[in-house]
Amino acid sequence: MITFDGAAKRHPDGTTAVRGLDLDVPAGQITVLVGPSGCGKTTILRMVNRMVEPTAGRVLLDGADVSALPPAQLRRGIGYVIQQAGLFPHRRVVDNVATVPRLLGWDRRRARARAAELLELVGLEPELGRRYPAQLSGGQQQRVGVARALAADPPVLLMDEPFSAVDPLVRTGLQEELLRLQSELHKTVLFVTHDIEEAVRLGDRVVVLRKHGEIAQLADPHTLLTRPADDGVAAFLGRDRGLRGLGLRPADHIELLPVGHPAQHDWELALDPDGRPLGWRGPTGLHPAPSFHPGRDTLRTALDAAVLSPTGLALALTPDHRPLGLATRTAVVTALDAAPPQAAAPRTVEARAALPGAVAHASPDGGPHGR
Ligand SMILES: Nc1ncnc2c1ncn2[C@@H]1O[C@H](COP(=O)(O)OP(=O)(O)OP(=O)(O)O)[C@@H](O)[C@H]1O
């Protein structure tokens, strides 16, 4: 656990970067610091590895004051990932990743073997290890940055806007990858971003900061989106936070209508010989049937499917892509109240896979609902 105990930073020119932060960062979780530019996020992060020394208060790592540890020793237990990866341009990728193991005195062979293992862990082809950083895409470079930070298997990972220099699609992929890694590695992660979308996606807990590193709210993503502490936090979260909240809840507990229900009106669900949907057949021909997987997708995906469907009905599918039932838009939104608060959306690939496939809510009266 990382503890900020009244940690403050005042620069010699009189600028107060952080006024006095009290915060516990629990072990094994992702804690995200989010807030406007200049609110002190990077300063807070760097107080942990002593790249910034507090001018008042303390930072403790598992109860030990970091100021008592020699920086080099401290940093061996702390991975650090920054924007644009910060790789050494003249070293091959594999040697970039092997940097810390080499510093720890490992021989070249063992360090390279470890580097190869890590490149695989972050989803990079082994051949890329022979290239130089400039020969990789931005997203690949970020993966190398993560691999390098993980090389010595540090319990703590500091990540400072690590994905902000890549395009949105690559960024989503990297976020997924981080969640997958975290589900295996359970590091204590302190992650800085100015992007609230990224914060609610990645954080087990999100710390919304305002000027001088003051905490405006500390909450899990769902609570943050549904119950912002004040108007300032609500404004920072943006206008469509309700919709984004749908994106944090699993698409289960939706009351489904059976296929063939009168709500389909003149539309018929066309199936292939294997019983998999081909689309909605209506007066104007065959149209796509937007669908969702109850155990895998979020309520936002289900609502999107219902909005885009020519019938206004989202098609719920079993894990093997067979029709399970139909969800009206109202049923999707109603499920937001039905979903228990602890049933956060599946946040990792593994968690998704582990969830039962067809878990739509069955009504107690055995009515026309999915099973
Ligand atoms: N060396 C310095 N001397 C004076 N002021 C500084 C110094 N370094 C940072 N600051 C100020 O401290 C405040 C916090 O900076 P910090 O980099 O922690 O903010 P941030 O939230 O990470 O910002 P951003 O999102 O823009 O990266 C800012 O007002 C900044 O101008």
Name the one residue in this structure whose structure tokens are 């005042």. Answer: 10
Q: Which atom of ligand 1 is nearest to the CA of 39?
A: 21
CA 44–ligand 1 middle distance (angstroms): 10
Q: Dig out the tokens for 294 from the structure.
A: 């109850």
Cα(8) to ligand 1 centroid in Å equals 13
Provide the pLDDT for residue 138.
81
- 157, 216 contact by CB (below 8 A): no
The closest alpha carbon to 87, from 161, 138, 155, belongs to 138
What are the 10-residue block averages of pLDDT along the chain, 371 residues in total? 96 94 96 94 95 95 93 88 80 89 83 87 86 87 86 89 79 83 90 91 94 95 88 86 79 91 92 95 93 90 94 95 95 77 44 35 34 29
CB 161 within 8 A of CB 129: no
Within 10 A of 340 (CB to CB), how many other CB atoms are there? 8
Domain map (residue ranges) of the chain = 2-240, 262-354
**Pairing between β-strand 291-292 and β-strand 313-317 as defined by DSSP bridges:** parallel
Q: Which of 145, 92, 85, 82 is nearest to 118 (CA)?
A: 145
Name the residue among 206, 196, 305 with its Cα closest to residue 241: 196
Share of residues in the chain with pLDDT > 70 (%): 90
Residue 321, number of CB atoms within 10 A of its CB: 13
Determine whether domain 262-354 maps to CATH 3.40.50.1970.
no
What's the pLDDT at 357?
Answer: 33
Residue 45 CA to ligand 1 center (angstroms) comes to: 12
What angle is formed at CA 102 by the lines to CA 96 and CA 107, rounded to 5 degrees?
120
Residue minimizing CA distance to atom 17 of ligand 1: 42
Q: Which of 4, 9, 15 to mutate to test the pocket of ligand 1 (most atoms within 8 A of CB)?
A: 15
* CB-based burial, 20-29: b 16+ in 10 Å, e otherwise: bbebebeeeb
Q: What pLDDT sits at residue 170?
A: 76
Closest to 155 in 3D by CA, of 8, 25, 40, 24:
25
Report pLDDT for 340. 54
Q: pLDDT tens digit string along 326-351? A: 999 999 988 877 655 444 444 543 33
Return the residue whose CA atom lies nearest to atom 10 of ligand 1.
17
Q: Ligand 1 centroid to 16 CA: how many Å? A: 9
pLDDT of residue 17: 95
pLDDT of residue 120: 85
CATH number of 2-240: 3.40.50.300
**Which residues neighbour 86 within 8 Å (Cβ) at sequence distance 6 or greater?**
145
